[in-house]
Amino acid sequence: MSYWDEKCISGCGLTGFIHVNGARESGAAVLESIAVIRERGNGLGGGFAGYGIYPDRADKLAFHLMYQNEKAHEDTERFLLQRFDITCAEPIPTRPNKFIQSPPLLWRYFASPRADYLRRANVSEDDFVVDAVMTINAQIAGACVMSSARNMGVFKGVGFPEDVGEFFRIDEYRGYIWTGHARFPTNTPGWWGGAHPFALLDWSIVHNGEISSYGINKRYLEMFGYKCTLLTDTEVVAYLVDLLVRRHGLSIRMACKALAPPFWREIDAMPEDEREAMRALRMVYASAALNGPFALLFAYKNGLVGFNDRIKLRPLIAAKRGDTYYMASEECAIRQIAPDLDDVWSPVAGEPVIVELGKGLVTENEFEPAGGRVRSQS
């Protein structure tokens, strides 16, 4: 029996790397890495996020959008022009690929919030952009925002990831952080807007598994003005990270603990100060906790983070070579682009691996060391 005759119960592949020294590398590397684990997807979704890819326009917001029809295109541009000063509007460059059929209209905009509109709105620039993204996705039929941040962009669609990457010409971009995803949709449809990564501001998420708490997470997010419209459970993770870190001020590590909290029996065995903090975190953010099997990477302008669910029902491998850190579903995806590694390890369930620009692996702050490991080798 061939692979394609069986259901892949741990499907979806993810990969990513960060150059801690800020060096930029062609997207060809992440394309080569994700292609090795092609069989973790089924051709219904692939995508990439790159950071540092627009250095000549780093002061402008880069909106990547997809449109199902020309009316959506016109309505969205009218909306954007009311709220933003747009210095460039153009189709996202693509090249023909025989496996990518009937793509939507793909456009990018480099823009800044209009000062008068931002002043009247009386909110921060980030909240202004988030409101624009939510409005477009929820109210303009046929429009979908892929990404909405400075000096980064998301490229995604229906197809195997290597074909999606070739279609979007990501080998022509250079970035200091790259993530890639091969999708195997199970409970949600395979469509262009539902491919990974999911992004909001400079947060981007790639995910393997299932968020079985989607309904609770969605209702919780709606209390804070987020709108989940993209028909895929992973969407909630991008919004939860934004809520917990940017709006509520949690550290990256504490946000990860809120999303994948320790079991109560583990909390009861902690030292008193840690125990009380974890109890409060679990109670306050009970509706933000992610249930179900998952491994995920989330990136932002200053770092890359990977972590699993609390009992590690989906695989995640981390590695290091010099100033570069790698994370992927399988070690082969890393060794394809970095054969000689300084270290390889499997992160402990629920323990985040946090890597930041200029710092490397972050091990200070909040109770436990970062990047806990169960296996290490040279």
As annotated, the active-site residues are: 12
Angle at the Cα of 132 (from 126 to 137), degrees rounded to 5?
130
In angstroms, the CA 162 to CA 123 distance is 40
Helix (H, G, I), strand (E, B) or coil at 113: strand
Q: Which of 361, 354, 323 is nearest to 22 (CA)?
A: 323
In angstroms, the CA 236 to CA 333 distance is 26
In angstroms, the CA 122 to CA 212 distance is 36
For residue 99, the 8-state DSSP code is T
Asked if residue 300 lies in contact with residue 179, where contact means CB atoms within 8 angstroms, the answer is: no
Single-letter residue type at 281: L
Asked if residue 165 lies in contact with residue 201, where contact means CB atoms within 8 angstroms, the answer is: no
